[in-house]
Amino acid sequence: MKDQLVFLDTHQVWQLDAATRECGRKGVANARAVLRATQARRGEVSEADQLPEAA
């Protein structure tokens, strides 16, 4: 069966620039805020409420 993709092990190191990291942090913080707001409306409490904010 040849329907699977072949994994290429390149050993490439990825470096993200500061702007990309900041964009990612803001996205994570936004997602956490949306989840927290949704849970609050439903009256749910979870471990996600106890996670620190993305820096």
Give the pLDDT mean for 4-26.
Answer: 89
- Name the residue ranges covered by the structural domains of the chain: 14-40
- Enter the pTM of the model: 0.54
d(CA 20, CA 14): 12
CA Rg value for the chain: 18
pLDDT of residue 8: 82
d(CA 2, CA 6): 9
Question: Under a CB-based contact definition with an 8 Å cutoff, are residues 32 and 52 in contact?
Answer: no
Q: Sign of the CA dihedral 37, 21, 5, 9?
A: negative
DSSP 48: G
pLDDT in tens, 25-38: 999 999 999 999 99
